[in-house]
Chains A and B, each alone.
Chain A
Amino acid sequence: MAWFQKTKKTLESKKKSELPDGLWMKCENCGEIIFRKELIKNHHICQTCRFHFRISSRDYIELLVDEGSFREFNAELISADPLKFKDTKKYTDRVQAAVKKTGINDAVRTGFGTMDERKIVLGVMDFDFFGGSVGSVVGEKITRAVFKAIEGKYPLILVSASGGMRMQEGMYSLLQMAKTTCALAELSVAGLPYISVLTHPTTGGTTASFSMQGDVIIAEPGALIGFAGPRVIKQTIGQDLPPGFQRSEFLLQHGFIDMIEDRSRLKKTLSTIISHLCD
């Protein structure tokens, strides 16, 4: 007994000194142990099963625009709690916690950037901020991003990752679906392309508005995309959902997205599509 404990202790301490915390991680899909540096190099894709780990808005910006070209706008916008909403916690406290956790002020970042030297407007949602939920700030930032695209005659790319509309702002949130739609209607009339990229997960009012309004809609492999969440559907129908239900591949099969693209080729594909649609 005694010698076993001792050996274990030695092993553990040795491991710690050589491998700082979090250097290795496990793929949540296939269970493969992955070297973190390797994962980052591979756009956070598991090389064994091609599972796409969720990445931050910062990572997407790095991935999609030419190095150093991103100029963020409206980053200072933050929720003002119009309903003085409180459940078990105050909404304002929840917002503060999300700001602290992510270092951004709401669930989308928007800005100018170049993609293979072509100027674009890019908006990227961040699921780590309040589940990527859409309230006044996200709606306003997307609307302003659309206006910037119209003003400069730039193509627009929005990367979605969202659980839907944010309950804590009530009807203000729901109406952001109409607000962003009206902005995109003006973009559409102006003849400018809007490419929507759907990442894991995109559900609720987000899917039922701007995410599904792209001229071209691209999804990452295996992403959960739908209107109602799987738990709600399961409750409604009282049986388990078929495997692959509401995943990117399911949407492609049913005709609701144009393609599924691997993250490592996403920039190239977006760039090619835009070059076909713009002069």
Chain B
Amino acid sequence: MPERIALEFERPIIDLEKKIAEMRALSGSSQIELDDEIFRLEKKANKLRKDVYSSLTRWQKTQLARHPDRPYTLDYVKRIFDQFVELHGDRAFADDPAIVTGLGKIDETSVIVIGHQKGRGTKDNLYRNFGMPNPEGYRKAKRIMALAEKFNRPIIAFIDTPGAYPGLGAEERGQAEAIATNLMVMAKLPVPYIAVVIGEGGSGGALAISVADRIYMLENSIYSVITPEGCASILYRDASHAPKAAEAMKITAKDLAGLKLIDGLIDEPLGGAHRDPDFVAGKIKEMLLSALDELKSVPVDELIAKRHQRYFDVGVWSEVKK
């Protein structure tokens, strides 16, 4: 069993699992009878898992959403789509590895795939810029959206970014313009658009590829207007208050489903998606197929009008008596 990276709150569970694995190995290689003991510890581990993972705070969910073992866009792409072909470059400045785009088939339906891509390990993460796109990433996505329109293919987007990259070059090359333009392109796009938040939905950098007809979130993913750290450093002048900010901003999938801002939640195994990526990919695929089925027969005008209406309905206000 590979070494698991343990978050602080799951340390007792991971330790126990390790112990069970060791005992199993021991029981297999020798004649010592350990079955009863293993059974007892398994039971204990199950209870512990249920206790810990079913009452996660918003901050703990944030940590799970950012777990270094968590499956990323390409991990799901290879499990969900057949004959995936990745397409590169914005045709203007560069290819941004923080966003991947391509063509694929889900069952019999040809679709266009767009997703943020984080890296695994330091080297890969540097290459992927930790999943924080530069303007050319968003412009690559825009080019692929045009392709989807031309060939009338639905778009499936995977959302997983801490946010758009706040760098010197990003500003020079128009990060704001790139995002604003994508929003407008998606608002007018005459093909079905389905977005799945698989990890972090980091503010405008996430929205830039997720103005959609359907938005789903994995159980332990988050979507927020600003990172909890960013919010805390503004409101409390101290990023270490991030757990409080996460609570106040209501950023989890469950919160947003409760506020009716998303269309559905996708279950993860206890402990998070990385414990069983195949299971989660299967669940995502089911959700995508049913959404595609619902959307494929909707006439284009109605599709766009309904997409607009979904966003027009967002907001809560009251009126001052005159």
Contacts and interface: CB of A to CB of B under 8 A. Distances in A.
Contacts of B83: none
Contacts of A184: 184, 187
B94 to A, nearest CB: 16
A64 interface: no
Interface in B287-322: 307-308, 311-312, 314-322
Given A178-B183, A184-B184, A246-B171, A80 B204 contact: no
Given A165-B225, A167-B231, A175 B311 contact: yes
Contacts of B211: 178, 181-182
Interface in A100-157: 105, 136-137, 139-140, 143
Indicate the size class of the contact surface on chain B: 35 or more
A256 B164 CA distance: 18
A86 interface: yes
Contacts of A213: 180-181, 183-184
Interface string A8-52: 000000000000000000000000000000000000000000000
B249 A227 contact: no
A167 B180 CA distance: 19
B121 to A, nearest CB: 21
Given A77-B319, A177-B183, A227-B171, A182 B308 contact: yes
B179 interface: yes
A204 B204 CA distance: 8
A78 B165 CA distance: 33
Interface string B178-213: 011101100110000000000000011001100100
Contact of B224 (A170, A186, A232): A170
Given A82-B259, A82-B316, A181-B184, 6 more contacts: A136-B316, A171-B224, A171-B225, A178-B311, A181-B211, A227-B179
Given A83-B248, A174-B204, A236-B166, A185 B315 contact: no
Contact of B249 (A80, A105, A167): A167
B256 interface: yes
Contact of A254 (B167, B174, B236, B311): B174
Contacts of A189: 188
The list of the 6 closest CB pairs from A to B, nearest first, reads: A228-B166, A136-B315, A212-B180, A185-B187, A207-B176, A82-B316
B315 A172 contact: yes
Contact of A182 (B203, B244, B307): B307
A78 B256 CA distance: 22
B251 A170 contact: yes
A170 B231 CA distance: 10
A177 B207 contact: yes
Given A167-B235, A211-B180, A178 B207 contact: yes
A46 B110 CA distance: 60
Contact of A136 (B173, B181, B245, B317): B317
B168 A174 contact: no
Give the one of B173, B175, B204, B236 with max A CB within 10 A: B204
B170 A227 contact: yes
Nearest to A74: B319
Contact of B179 (A175, A209, A233, A256): A209
Contacts of B181: 212-213
Given A82-B259, A105-B320, A233-B166, A167 B312 contact: no
Contacts of A183: 308, 312
Contacts of B52: none
A255 B92 CA distance: 14
Contacts of A105: 320
A173 B225 contact: yes
B207 A83 contact: no
Contacts of A188: 184, 188
A254 B256 CA distance: 38
B311 A179 contact: yes
Contact of B250 (A83, A139, A227): A83
Interface string B237-271: 00000001100111100001001010000000000
Contacts of A211: 176, 180
A174 B224 contact: yes
Contacts of A166: 225
Contacts of B316: 80, 82, 136, 169, 172
B259 to A, nearest CB: 7
Nearest to B251: A170
